[in-house]
């Protein structure tokens, strides 16, 4: 539904920024990790070749430049998700580390014996396992919100669980396996009203739609740079300042301290209290360039393009006999389509697609509880981003037909 | 009409597809002397094998499971080889034997699929051996 007047992406121009696409691949695995444009790799190369040095310590010029560029990403990210302050923007290695940080630093202090944690069956392992470890350590229980036949969360069940006053509610904004866009604003509001602390896993949200953490109203928001055109190894934890102020460090050591004496240590201010040791400087600079790139495109246009491609792919795949689609209709999902083929295992399909240079994911997508719920061991998954064009979807359809011919 | 390259057809050779679609020795044995199952959680492949062993010989073997063509064809091929074989000889079957029998290039990502049935055999066979020793 790319309506008239909505901003549009110039995909042909965008593709010129991605050197890897010149190899001829049809890259349909962006929900796994995206590609990075020259602007991102260039920013990282600049650091390596022009001002490579450590941050926050040295008194010479290139170190000042490195520090400035590293810290500059913080303001870009703050603006990107409309946080109130850069003190609320913590660099992590990615979503997984961000959630682990909250589970450790906030969870160990605040989750008590008998407390309830509410998660969903749609969640990625990174938003399940840290809470399972915390629940086991502190004696809490976990309940999972189920999905309906369309792969959408059972909100009736969610509201029932909220009546039991959970201490924490954590859910993904967008399902990585089905593409389901959860009604995050409504869910956060209800959970806050029930008195819960709320974490939103934005790994599949932030890359694909505009995010406003203040409008969303969550306490924590976690996402990864590498799914939004940035490099691996740099991600973000947004945390409400009043909560972060009360939290103990996660990792400790250099750079996160004010003073260290034999008698004890005082910790650094926010956000550095949570950033111990030498940081992923080049990666954070690369993440800043990725945010600039997405800002340049406009997140509204990014979402509109993904929706157009997703609708096109959904329709094309629906026409194939023996193909089962999982999840909601295209208007209610992000650029992710999970499916299976009768008589052909997803791995066999992915192998055949690979021969056509079509990069397709096959497996459980780090969402084994969801796969169990769907009654499948694995699915094939195609996912799209700003550089995806329709002829790549056509190539996928060709690979599927080829697999059906071979396995006929 | 085929867009398939030679490589495709080579990878999914006729006899591999045949073993996938018409698996040999598929099913379960009643009262097996050895029964073992393994899975590959990454892709959901499951292979289990039942053996009847008499005087050190594999008298009968069946496999069950589900998964990709490579894991299931590999298991089917392996059962054909195992029938009538001495258990001690079966233990000596190696990775190269199994991959050789498949006769295709297996990418690193798919090696686990190809070798799942061998793992079932190894764990199962050595498990029985240690039980025997306990009894003696």
A251 inside domain: yes
Question: Model's pTM, two decimal places?
Answer: 0.92
Residue B132 — very low, low, confident or very high, per pLDDT cuts 50/70/90?
very low
Q: Annotated catalytic, A366?
A: yes
Spell out the residues 6+ positions from residue B97 whose beta carbon is closer than 8 angstroms to its own.
none
- A264 in the same domain as A316: no
Residue B126 — very low, low, confident or very high, per pLDDT cuts 50/70/90?
confident
Q: What is the mean pLDDT of each run of 10 residues along chain A (408 residues)?
A: 69 98 98 98 98 90 96 98 98 98 98 98 96 98 97 98 98 97 98 98 97 98 98 98 96 89 92 95 98 98 97 97 96 95 94 95 92 91 98 98 94
- A26 in the same domain as A154: no
User: Do residue A406 and residue B17 have CB atoms under 8 angstroms apart?
Assistant: yes
- A259 in the same domain as A160: yes
* Domain edge (last residue) among A247, A263, A296: A296
A3 inside domain: no
B81 inside domain: yes
A4 inside domain: no
Residue B133 has pLDDT above 50, yes or no: no
- A185 in the same domain as A292: yes
**Cis ω on the peptide bond leading into residue A271 (within 30° of 0)?**
yes
The three-class DSSP label of residue A36 is coil
CATH number where B117 lies: 3.90.1010.10
A291 inside domain: yes
pLDDT given for residue A192 in this prediction: 98
**Tens of pLDDT, residues B85-113:** 999 999 999 999 999 988 888 888 889 99
Taking the C-alpha atoms of residue A143 and residue A158, their distance in angstroms, rounded to an integer, is: 10
Give contacts of A380 with chain B, Cβ < 8 Å: none
pLDDT given for residue B87 in this prediction: 93
- Per DSSP, the residues of B65-129 read EE--HHHHHHHHHHHHHHTT-BHHHHHT--HHHHHHHHTS---GGGHHHHHHHHHHHHHHHHHHH
Q: So what's the ipTM on this one?
A: 0.82
Per the structure, the count of domains in chain A is 2
- A388 in the same domain as A322: yes
Q: Minimal CA–CA distance to A207: which of A179, A186, A185? A: A179
A1 inside domain: no
- A304 in the same domain as A288: no
B94 inside domain: yes
User: Do residue A351 and residue B107 have CB atoms under 8 angstroms apart?
Assistant: yes
Smallest CA–CA distance from A365 into chain B, residue: B42
Local structure of residue A237 (DSSP, 8 states): E
Per the structure, the count of domains in chain B is 1
B123 inside domain: yes
Query: Which range marks the domain in which residue B22 is found?
Result: 6-135
Give contacts of A364 with chain B, Cβ < 8 Å: 41-44
Query: Which range marks the domain in which residue A226 is found?
Result: 41-296
- A242 in the same domain as A105: yes
Measured CA to CA in angstroms, residue A277 lies from A30, A66, A254 at distances of 30, 16, 5
* Domain edge (last residue) among A273, A296, A319: A296
* CB contact burial A84-123 (16+ within 10 A = b; e otherwise): eebbbbbbbbbbbbbbbbbbbbbbeebbeeebbbbbbbbb
Interface of B with A in 33-72 (CB under 8 A): 41-46, 66-70
User: Do residue B67 and residue A355 have CB atoms under 8 angstroms apart?
Assistant: no
Q: Is A371 on the interface with B (CB under 8 A)?
A: yes
Give contacts of A348 with chain B, Cβ < 8 Å: 12, 68-70
- A67 in the same domain as A148: yes
A contact test, residue of B1, B2, B4, B73 with most A CBs within 10 A = B4
pLDDT given for residue A43 in this prediction: 98
pLDDT given for residue A2 in this prediction: 44
**Tens of pLDDT, residues B33-86:** 999 999 988 778 899 999 999 999 999 999 999 999 999 999 999 999 999 999
Q: Minimal CA–CA distance to A232: which of A36, A100, A74? A: A36
Spell out the residues 6+ positions from residue A22 whose beta carbon is closer than 8 angstroms to its own.
none
* Domain edge (last residue) among A239, A274, A296: A296
- A265 in the same domain as A147: yes
- A303 in the same domain as A226: no
B127 inside domain: yes
- A230 in the same domain as A375: no
- A292 in the same domain as A302: no
A196 inside domain: yes
Q: Is A407 on the interface with B (CB under 8 A)?
A: yes
Smallest CA–CA distance from A352 into chain B, residue: B8
CATH number where A367 lies: 3.90.1150.10
How many CB pairs lie under 8 A apart between chains A and B? 63
B1 inside domain: no
């Amino acid at each position: 539904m790319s309506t008239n007047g909505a901003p549009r992406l110039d995909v042909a121009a965008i593709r010129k920024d991605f050197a890897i696409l010149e190899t001829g691949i049809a890259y349909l695995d962006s929900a796994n990790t995206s590609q990075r444009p020259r602007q991102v790799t260039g920013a990282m190369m600049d650091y390596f070749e022009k001002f490579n040095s450590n941050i926050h310590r040295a008194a010479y010029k290139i170190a000042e430049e490195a520090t400035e560029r590293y810290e500059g990403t913080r303001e870009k990210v703050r603006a990107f998700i409309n946080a109130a302050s850069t003190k609320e923007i913590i660099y992590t290695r990615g979503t997984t580390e961000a959630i682990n940080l909250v589970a450790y630093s906030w969870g160990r202090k605040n989750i008590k014996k008998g407390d309830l944690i509410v998660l969903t069956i749609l969640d990625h392992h990174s938003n399940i396992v840290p809470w399972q470890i915390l629940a086991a350590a502190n004696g809490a229980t976990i309940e999972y919100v189920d999905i309906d036949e369309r792969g959408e969360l059972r909100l009736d069940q969610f509201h029932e669980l909220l009546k039991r006053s959970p201490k924490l509610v954590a859910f993904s904004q967008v399902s990585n396996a089905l593409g389901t866009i959860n009604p995050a604003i409504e869910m956060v509001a209800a959970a806050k009203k029930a008195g819960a602390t709320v974490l939103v896993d934005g790994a599949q949200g932030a890359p694909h739609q505009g995010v406003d953490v203040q409008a969303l109203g969550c306490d924590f928001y976690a996402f990864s740079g590498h799914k939004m055109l940035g490099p691996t190894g740099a991600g973000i934890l947004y945390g409400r300042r009043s909560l972060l102020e009360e939290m103990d460090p996660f990792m400790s050591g250099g750079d996160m301290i004010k003073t260290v004496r034999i008698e004890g240590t005082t910790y650094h201010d926010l956000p550095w209290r949570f950033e111990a040791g030498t940081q992923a400087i080049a990666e954070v600079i690369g993440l800043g360039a990725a945010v600039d790139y997405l800002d340049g495109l406009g997140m509204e246009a990014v979402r509109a393009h993904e929706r157009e491609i997703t609708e096109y792919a959904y329709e094309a795949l629906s026409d194939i006999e023996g193909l089962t689609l999982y999840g909601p209709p295209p208007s209610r999902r992000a650029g992710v389509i999970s499916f299976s083929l009768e008589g052909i295992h997803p791995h066999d399909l992915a192998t055949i697609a690979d021969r056509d240079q079509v990069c397709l994911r096959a497996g459980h997508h780090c969402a084994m509880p969801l796969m169990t719920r769907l009654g499948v061991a694995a699915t094939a998954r195609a996912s799209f981003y700003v550089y995806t064009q329709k002829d790549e979807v056509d190539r996928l359809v060709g690979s599927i037909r080829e697999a059906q011919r071979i396995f006929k | 009409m085929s867009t398939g390259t030679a490589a495709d057809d080579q990878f999914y050779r006729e006899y591999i597809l045949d073993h996938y679609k018409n698996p040999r020795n598929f099913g379960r044995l009643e009262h097996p002397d050895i029964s073992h199952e393994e899975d590959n959680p990454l892709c959901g492949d499951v292979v289990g094998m039942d053996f009847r062993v008499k005087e050190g010989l594999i008298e009968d073997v069946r496999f069950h499971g589900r998964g990709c063509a490579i894991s299931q064809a590999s298991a089917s091929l392996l059962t054909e080889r195992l029938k009538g074989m001495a258990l001690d000889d079966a233990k000596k079957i190696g990775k190269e034997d199994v991959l050789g029998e498949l006769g295709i290039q297996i990418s690193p990502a798919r090696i686990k699929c190809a070798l799942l049935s061998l793992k079932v055999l190894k764990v199962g066979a050595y498990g029985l051996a240690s039980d025997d020793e306990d009894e003696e």
